[in-house]
Amino acid sequence: MCPQPPRNNNDHTSHVLLCTSIFTQMNSAKGSRAHDISLQMIISAAAFLYEHPEAANDSGKQNVAGLNAALNVYEKFLAADPKAKSSFYDNLLKKRSEGKLEKEVADTCPK
């Protein structure tokens, strides 16, 4: 049996708490880049959790962080190809610009 390596302060055993409702809508959104954008949400939510281990039980903060990064990627794709437009992502961009993205996540995603 192999001994377990010693734990250090960089070990994280938390799991990303993605909102399946939003994530499912992201993957099914119209546009050729929906998968890439939703993948960015996962990566960014995980990065947020790594940087903020105190938010391990706060799905809202994790999802908002992931969504913000995903929306940034959507904006880059849209700038490169205006035909990549998606009403789902445009609605989230509007919510973000109005300062209502956190509320949207809280209303859509169960705790």
Report pLDDT digits (tens) over 70-83: 999 999 999 999 98
Cα–Cα distance for residue pair 111/109, rounded to 1 Å: 6
The whole-model pTM stands at: 0.84
Give SS3 for 81: coil
Summary mean pLDDT of the chain:
86
Please tell me the predicted confidence (pLDDT) of residue 13: 67
pLDDT at 27 over 60: yes
pLDDT-based confidence at 89, cuts 50/70/90?
very high
